[in-house]
Structure 1
Amino acid sequence: MPDLGIPAGAAVVTLEGVSKRYANGTLAVQGVDMAIGQGDFVSLLGPSGCGKSTVLRMVAGLIEPTTGRIGMAGAAGGRMADAAHRPGGDVGFVFQEPTLMPWATSLKNVMLPLRLSGMNRGEAEGRAAAALASVGLAGFERAYPRALSGGMKMRVSIARALVTRPRLLLMDEPFAALDEITRHRLNNDLLTLWQAERFTAVFVTHSVFESVYLSRRIVVMAARPGRIVEDLTVDAPYPRGEEFRTSADYASHCRHISAALHRAMGE
């Protein structure tokens, strides 16, 4: 992972008064202020249509805010710079669907961002194979997407996002379409990767249970227009596993977050 001179706990991303109005007049997000620290795991939680994915895409630079500023650490001396001027390869993005190239093997799908950056084939192959192994897909390098289950396709997508060794990983409801058993397994694997790689994670979900299991912070959003109404901490220690998922502490956190979500939906 690149060393950008960012102290532990310092802000990696800041959003200041960020709003987004689309060309059709829809005000999707209004007045979002948020700072995300180095190595943090933050979930954006809220009902459909509250602007979670819009916020994530603005942080990624896929769309621009209408008003406000998004800053990202990584400028000279670790200073904040406009997100549009972030260091190349510093952000990984995992979409709701795996978005794999059907004509390419798992290895070639994961190699894609490295090859686009100009890395030679040999080094890219080695990095891609290591990324696949890190998500539990060693031995599936030559498999095509049609031969993979939904969970395996999402693992390939995560490997592709991580292969550039980003400091910031953005995930837009990546496990929403998966069955519960696969979803739980991938939640566990994601936390293992996060603890090993120490990237900063921002995870969009509308599952209270998933957000509590994964996150240090849960940012609750309300809709019409999308805005932050609560920013809550999950103080349970890591690593987390099945003991946490079945504990009274987990149930208590879920009740607390559920109540916050209910309040947000009434806003």
Structure 2
Amino acid sequence: MSIQRVGRRFDTGQGILPVLSGIDLTCPKGTFTALVGPLGCGKSTLLRLVAGLDHPDEGTIRFGSHDGDSCTPDDLRRQGALGMAFQDAALLPWRDVSANMALPPELIGRDGPQARKRIKSLLVLVGLQNFGGALPAALPGGMRQRAALARALVTHPRILLLDEPFGALDFVLRREMVRELQRIWLESGATALMVTHGIDEAVFLADTIVVMGRDPGRIIATVEVDVPCSRPAGFFVDPVFHALCDRIERLLESAS
């Protein structure tokens, strides 16, 4: 994933508001990148641009392909090669879990036997094999988020985008889901880009943490997490973990 000199401006009706400026970021295949920054720095706007839900005013966003060519976010969405999960699980309340997971392949015309087989395997992967027929309202928050992650992965996406996926969960459940996400992401092999306000989540999950400032949104620092990606729960109390969290906190204080 290559983001080059990307900028985005919004017309507020009272003038032009620059939201992002000069964003340069490369995410190698199979890596996990986390975006952190103060409110209003454009993290979620950048994720929407990568998802093709919005378009930059300047710069380019390209994804490398297996044959050496590159494609745009719109190309990836049409191919079903881009999955996204939000803070709100965004499950359709009238569809059960399996039917919610079937929505992405339906939208790209791939809702056949292979999709049904994939849904069954993902239900096992996220620990919901006994809840495929349950409606979202019957599930607690953590299980709804697992279903949303499974839905994001159902079309074998090359790119996985996560916008505050655990922001609505309590601390204990959030820690549990962070470990689950690590396991699920490693199984998927996708390139992941996550927006989060949780420094601990970013340090536990990411290969690279991108710290953003605001007015306008820009990258002020990039921090590499030089720890193998399969990190045990004990990493949360490791001195390396706390040193990285402290470093990012200081960077965020300077960005505010």
Q: Aligned partner of 2:119: which letter?
A: A
2:13 aligned with 1:22:
no
How far 1:84 moved relative to its partner?
Answer: 3.2
57-66 or 119-128, which deviates more: 119-128
- 1:58-69 equivalences under 5 Å are 58-69=49-60
Q: 3-state DSSP class of the match of 1:177?
A: coil
The runs of at least 4 consecutive aligned structure 1 residues that moved more than 4 Å come to: none
Picking from 152, 162, 165, the partner of 2:156 is 165
In 2, Cα distance between equivalents of 1:229 and 1:188: 28
Percent identical pairs in the alignment equals: 38
Q: Aligned partner of 1:263: which letter?
A: S
Q: 3-state DSSP class of the match of 1:230?
A: strand
Deviation string 1:75-121 (CA, Å, 9 cap, x unpaired) is: x7222233333361111011121111101100000011112222244
Q: Aligned partner of 2:117: which letter?
A: G
Picking from 11, 29, 45, the partner of 1:38 is 29
Distance 1:14 1:238, change over 3 A: closer
How far 1:208 moved relative to its partner?
Answer: 1.2
CA RMSD of superposed structures (Å): 1.4
Match of 1:240 in 2: 231
How far 1:54 moved relative to its partner?
Answer: 0.5
Match of 1:3 in 2: none
148-157 or 81-90, which deviates more: 81-90
TM-score when scaled to structure 1?
0.90
Deviation string 1:231-257 (CA, Å, 9 cap, x unpaired) is: 110112232122111111111111111
How far 1:166 moved relative to its partner?
Answer: 0.4
In 2, Cα distance between equivalents of 1:33 and 1:23: 23
In 1, Cα distance between equivalents of 2:72 and 2:93: 35
Q: Aligned partner of 2:40: which letter?
A: G
- 1:169-180 equivalences under 5 Å are 169-180=160-171
Q: 3-state DSSP class of the match of 1:255?
A: helix
In 1, Cα distance between equivalents of 2:119 and 2:72: 30
Distance 1:130 1:48, change over 3 A: same
Deviation string 1:214-239 (CA, Å, 9 cap, x unpaired) is: 11100000011110000110112232
Picking from 103, 110, 113, the partner of 1:122 is 113
Contact 2:5–2:59 (Cα < 8 Å) also in 1: yes
116-125 or 246-255, which deviates more: 116-125
How far 1:128 moved relative to its partner?
Answer: 1.3
How many matched pairs? 252
Q: 3-state DSSP class of the match of 2:102?
A: helix
Q: 3-state DSSP class of the match of 1:186?
A: helix
- 1:79-228 equivalences under 5 Å are 79-86=69-76, 88-228=79-219
How far 1:72 moved relative to its partner?
Answer: 1.2
Q: Aligned partner of 2:131: which letter?
A: F
